């Protein structure tokens, strides 16, 4: 625990993964676990494991900021997801930095400073759970807890080279989590191994479903979703190499038609709950980062007709996913089409970084399905990330597949090189 805290403090000026650290409480918990072990008492499967907790999730006695300039709520209770982690022995060392109110994909927080990618301090850690991903990538904590409403676990997992699980909607309780879009919000783990993804997931969800036996699986590459966007050539090459590796393992992989199952103009109207969540703060004239405020205003201005169309679009998306996953076991895409985003630059190429980074992740939330981001072994620095999407409630099947790919050497975590330099390389 001391090592994790020391590394968190020593990298704070560079990586900026945390909004606050809690040395006293973490070390006290660690000492209690040591005492119980010395007495021969049983401890949980995560006993003594340091965890970074996204500063959107309540932890009794700690301040929840949501990454904002004005919100500072001292939590009167601990979110059930966190309480379950602690019951399993995990120890929260601090609250991780994030995109303000979790409403974005870069974690370049105007109030608390940007989260910097441990692989390259000039690049974003992704968002919105950027601090949790950066803490794992830098080797500070083996597990980070994030939330995912459009890719906010998977995008930072991809950019920072960690494992990340977006769970089936409702699988992990949302009580004590400041909402973004309550009808599609999820809580999920990022980690340095599939074992740690599994332990964190089972602790938070209470899911005791056994992993299915290993057998030949059917994978579908969704079209036109995959083929209709520009993809970095390095990512495309690794993705196609992964398909070859899966086939060599005996699996079936082929294109599958999913008409209209790709990002749409309806995405903004489908987020209309954001306006209700922030209405009170907005009426009080609270200060938001300009980019976040602009996105909230866009959502506030959607019409009832646009919302109705968006709900119909969501229904269609869910039907498309149900149809596809009735014929294959899993869907495969890259997690992101681009490998990085430069801090301070709005665009990746000629497109908004939000549209680029969320291209393969956002509609999965609207479909309510689980998805796993996997760093591909020996594929770069940071490694290229593969997204595997499963059927509803197939979370443990996804975890089993991820573990299988990790054991086969197809997927694998590599910690980012330690760095003490500042973002300008001085």
409 vs 414: CA distance, rounded Å: 12
Give CA–CA dist 49/395, Å, rounded: 22
88 SS3 class: coil
For residues 82 and 57, the answer to whether their CB atoms sit within 8 Å is yes
CA distance 321 to 329: 11
Burial degree of 280 (CB within 10 A; 0-12, 13-18, 19+): exposed
Nearest CA to 104 among 290, 367, 301? 290
* Nearest-angstrom CA–CA distance, 249 and 254: 15
Q: How far apart are CA 209 and CA 396, in angstroms?
A: 7
The active-site residue, picked from 124, 152, 205, 385, is: 152
The two structure tokens encoding residue 270: 């489908």
**How far is it between the farthest Cα atoms of the chain?**
64
CA distance 342 to 344: 6
Q: Is 54 annotated as catalytic? A: yes
Contact 334, 375 (CB under 8 A): no
Question: Are 75 and 62 spatial neighbours (Cβ–Cβ below 8 Å)?
Answer: yes
Question: Which one from 29, 54, 88, 394 is the annotated catalytic residue?
Answer: 54
| Token digits of residue 127 | 């968002």
User: Do 333 and 340 meet the contact criterion of CB atoms below 8 Å apart?
Assistant: no
Tell me the C-alpha distance between 273 and 414, whole Å: 38
Q: How far is CA 356 from CA 216, 304, 352, in A?
A: 33, 27, 6
The catalytic residue among 81, 128, 132, 385 is 128
Instruction: Write down the residue that tokens 């001391």 correspond to.
Output: 2
Structure tokens at 24: 């006293």
> Which parts of 266-412 fold into alpha helices (H)?
273-283, 290-300, 304-324, 353-357, 362-367, 395-407
Catalytic residues: 54, 128, 152
């Amino acid at each position: 625990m001391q090592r994790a805290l020391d590394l968190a403090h020593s990298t704070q000026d560079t990586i900026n993964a945390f909004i606050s650290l809690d040395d006293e409480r973490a070390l006290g918990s660690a000492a209690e676990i040591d005492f119980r072990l010395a007495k021969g008492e049983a401890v949980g499967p995560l006993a003594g494991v340091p965890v970074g907790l996204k500063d959107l999730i309540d932890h009794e006695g700690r301040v929840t900021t949501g990454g904002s300039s004005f919100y500072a709520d001292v939590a009167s209770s601990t979110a059930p997801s966190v309480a379950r982690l602690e019951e399993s022995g995990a120890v929260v060392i601090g609250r991780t930095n994030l995109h303000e109110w979790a409403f974005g994909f870069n974690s370049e927080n105007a109030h608390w400073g940007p989260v910097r990618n441990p692989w390259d301090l000039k690049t974003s850690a992704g968002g919105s759970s950027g601090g949790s991903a950066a803490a794992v990538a830098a080797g500070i904590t083996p597990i980070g807890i994030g939330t995912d409403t459009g890719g906010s676990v998977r995008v930072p997992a991809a950019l920072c080279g960690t494992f990340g699980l977006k769970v089936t909607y409702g699988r992990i309780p949302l009580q004590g989590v400041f909402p973004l879009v309550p009808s599609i919000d999820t809580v999920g783990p990022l980690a340095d191994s599939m074992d740690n993804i599994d332990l964190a997931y089972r602790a938070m969800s209470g899911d005791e479903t056994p992993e299915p036996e290993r057998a030949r699986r059917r994978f579908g590459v969704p079209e036109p979703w995959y083929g209709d966007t520009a993809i970095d050539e390095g990512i495309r090459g690794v993705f196609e190499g992964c398909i070859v590796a899966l086939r060599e393992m005996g699996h079936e992989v082929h294109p599958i038609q999913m008409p209209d199952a790709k990002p749409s103009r309806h995405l903004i109207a489908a987020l209309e709950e954001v306006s209700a969540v922030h209405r009170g703060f907005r009426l009080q004239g609270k200060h938001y980062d300009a980019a976040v405020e602009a996105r909230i205003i866009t959502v506030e201005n959607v019409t009832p007709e646009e919302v109705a169309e968006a709900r119909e679009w969501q229904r269609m998306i869910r039907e498309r996913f149900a149809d596809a996953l009735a014929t294959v076991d899993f869907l495969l895409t890259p997690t992101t089409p681009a490998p990085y985003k430069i801090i301070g630059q709005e665009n990746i190429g000629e497109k908004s970084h939000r549209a680029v980074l969320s291209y393969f992740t956002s509609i999965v939330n609207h479909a309510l399905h689980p998805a796993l981001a996997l760093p591909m072994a020996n594929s770069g620095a940071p490694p290229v990330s593969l997204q595997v999407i499963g059927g509803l409630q197939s979370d443990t099947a996804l975890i089993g597949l991820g573990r299988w790919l990790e054991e086969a050497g197809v997927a694998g975590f590599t910690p980012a090189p330690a760095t003490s330099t500042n973002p300008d390389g001085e």
